[in-house]
């Protein structure tokens, strides 16, 4: 029978909007609903709310408010950063450097640009999912117009040496974009210290609402617009502002970035206990990603002799929400490009489980999972013959 209580281990997929964030948003649906582009009093309240949120986002990453542009989320921010730089700098060159383990919002955008005649270098990563800054330097040509490397990987949690990569890009006068969607609230970021010119973030990954995100664009960066229409966002991103979303994003990022070390320490403590328990209780398990340079709440494992989706189904029956690097949903689904890029065999990639911890994860959830997981894995191994 399904458990009543949901044990949520999928915070990298999305997070619930925090009640304080919802409370901050609510008046902007009904009371302060004015279109910020209008001229009367309630519009002024809306404009002030947007300005406040812009300052909150800017403060969280060490930017200035005029460098923050609201978008519909991480995917739009990635699209804008990459296409916007590519199109604005085409007179300088047509070469983009990225990595093989980026989110599809980056990879598919790069593939689209390749169809338009741009060339893209997809840098490999090592077995722990790290990009070598020297490889970035070696890949730069006279035609390179953008380097885009994620801050932390959404699947295996590996944190990239973005400060070094950003420094190399800066030495060559090339804009550096980072998809920081998984990093906000988990890692301390400062766009100046980290040599970042463009940074994507998304509200629903740090207890804010879905459908709202932001792109940081360093002052003076030449970038083409992605969304054309009215003059919103200082003429850079058209469309009536998602006022409640913007307010929610501001409230959420301020909350998430108030005490990152304490938040990260709590998650890392739970993660390390969970990981140690799994390694102790289950044979033939490997940890995917970097052993230490990883997001505090991320565990990505491969189990011998099972199918990851079957394991997810068994866990879901017990109220556990998690994720895998391969879903058998069409008969032609390739295993995760990230797991393959770090050298995981297709078979092991199909046997993966991603557990991402966050605010909803309690000590007792870790205990519950530790009590359940060995039996679930053993059951599937008996079925496949791997445990015989």
Would you tell me which residues interact with other proteins (CB under 8 A)? Answer: 305-307, 309-310, 313-314, 317, 326, 328-333, 335, 346-347, 350, 382-386, 388
Cα(189)–Cα(67) distance, integer angstroms = 15
CB closer to other proteins, 102 vs 307: 307
Does 87 carry a binding-site annotation? no
Q: What backbone torsions phi and psi does residue 384 show, to the nearest 5 degrees? A: -90, -15
202 labelled ligand-binding: yes
SS3 for 121?
strand
Alpha carbon separation from 41 to 32, 34, 38, 233 (Å, rounded): 10, 8, 9, 20
Annotated binding residue at 203? Answer: yes
Q: With respect to other proteins, which residue has the nearer C-beta, 39 or 388?
A: 388
The reply, when asked if residue 347 is annotated as ligand binding, is: no
**Distance in angstroms (rounded) separating the CA atoms of residues 16 and 37:** 30
CA dist 38 and 55 (Å) reads 21
Q: How far apart are CA 40 and CA 305, in angstroms?
A: 66
| Of residues 179 and 307, the one with the C-beta less far from other proteins | 307
- The residue to which tokens 């940081």 are assigned: 216
Residues 6+ apart with CB under 8 A from 331: none
Q: If you count them, how many residues does the chain have?
A: 388
The single residue listed with the structure tokens 């991103």 is 237
What is the 3-state composition of the chain as percent helix, strand, coil, each rounded to the nearest 5?
40, 15, 45
Minimum separation from the CB atom of position 311 to other proteins (A): 9
Count Cβ atoms below 10 Å from residue 288 Cβ, excluding itself: 30
Task: Rank residues 83 and 348 by Cβ distance to other proteins and give the closer one.
Answer: 348
Q: Which residue, 85 or 306, is less far from other proteins as judged by CB? A: 306
Instruction: State the minimum distance, in angstroms, from the CB of residue 14 to other proteins.
Output: 18
Question: Is 328 labelled a binding residue?
Answer: yes
Closest to other proteins by CB, 49 vs 306, is 306
What is the Cα–Cα distance from 314 to 317, expressed in whole angstroms? 5
321 known member of a binding site: no
Please provide residue 169's backbone torsions phi and psi, each rounded to the nearest 5 degrees.
Answer: -60, -45
Q: Is the dihedral of CA 172, 177, 183, 185 positive or negative?
A: positive
75 annotated among ligand-binding-site residues = yes
Give the ranges where 232-301 is alpha helix by DSSP (H).
232-235, 243-256, 260-281
**How many whole angstroms separate alpha carbon 357 and alpha carbon 9?**
5
C-alpha distances in Å from residue 68, one per residue of 60, 95, 196, 306? 11, 26, 13, 45
Could you give the CA distance from residue 282 to residue 372 in angstroms, rounded to a whole number?
A: 11
Q: Enumerate the active-site residues.
A: 328
Residue 82, φ and ψ in degrees, nearest 5: -75, -50
Q: Output the smallest distance, CB 4 to other proteins, in A.
A: 18
Taking the least distance from each CB to other proteins, the nearer of 27 and 387 is 387
Q: What's the min distance (Å) between Cβ of 98 and other proteins?
A: 27
Residues that constitute the known binding site for pyridoxal 5'-phosphate: 74-75, 154, 182, 202-204, 240
Residues that constitute the known binding site for [2Fe-2S] cluster: 328
Residues that constitute the known binding site: 74-75, 154, 182, 202-204, 240, 328
């Amino acid at each position: 029978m399904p458990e009543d209580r949901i044990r949520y281990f999928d915070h990298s997929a999305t997070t619930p909007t925090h009640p304080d964030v919802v409370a901050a948003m609510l008046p902007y649906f009904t009371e302060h609903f004015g279109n910020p582009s209008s001229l009367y009093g309630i519009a002024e309240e809306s404009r002030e709310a947007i300005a406040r949120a812009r300052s909150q986002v800017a403060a969280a990453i060490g930017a200035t408010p005029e460098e923050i542009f609201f978008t519909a989320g991480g995917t739009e921010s990635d699209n804008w950063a990459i296409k916007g730089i590519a199109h604005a700098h085409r007179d300088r060159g047509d070469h983009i450097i990225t990595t093989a383990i980026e989110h599809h919002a980056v990879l598919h955008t790069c593939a689209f640009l390749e169809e338009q005649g741009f060339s893209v270098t997809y840098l490999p990563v090592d077995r722990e999912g790290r990009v070598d800054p020297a490889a970035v330097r070696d890949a730069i040509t006279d035609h390179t117009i953008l380097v885009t490397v994620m801050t932390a990987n959404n699947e295996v949690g590996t944190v990239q040496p973005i400060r070094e990569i950003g420094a190399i890009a800066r030495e060559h006068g090339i804009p550096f974009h980072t998809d920081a969607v998984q990093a906000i609230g988990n890692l301390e970021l400062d766009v100046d210290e980290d040599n970042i010119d463009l940074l994507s973030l998304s509200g629903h990954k740090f207890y804010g609402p879905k459908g709202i995100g932001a792109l940081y664009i360093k002052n003076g960066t030449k970038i083409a617009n992605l969304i054309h229409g009215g003059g919103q966002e200082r003429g850079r991103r058209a469309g009536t502002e998602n006022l409640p979303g913007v307010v929610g994003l501001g409230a959420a990022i301020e909350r998430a970035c108030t005490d990152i070390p304490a938040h990260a320490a709590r998650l890392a403590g739970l993660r390390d206990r969970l990981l140690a328990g799994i390694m102790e209780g289950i044979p033939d398990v490997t940890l995917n990603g970097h052993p230490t340079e990883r997001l505090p709440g991320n565990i990505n494992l491969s189990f011998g002799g099972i199918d990851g989706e079957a394991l997810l189904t068994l866990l879901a029956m017990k109220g556990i929400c998690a994720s895998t690097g391969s879903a058998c949903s069409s008969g032609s689904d390739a295993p995760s490009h990230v797991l393959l890029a770090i050298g995981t065999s297709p078979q092991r990639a199909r046997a993966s489980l991603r557990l991402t911890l966050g605010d909803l994860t309690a000590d007792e959830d870790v205990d519950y999972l530790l009590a359940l997981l060995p039996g679930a894995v053993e059951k599937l191994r008996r079925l496949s013959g791997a445990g015989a």
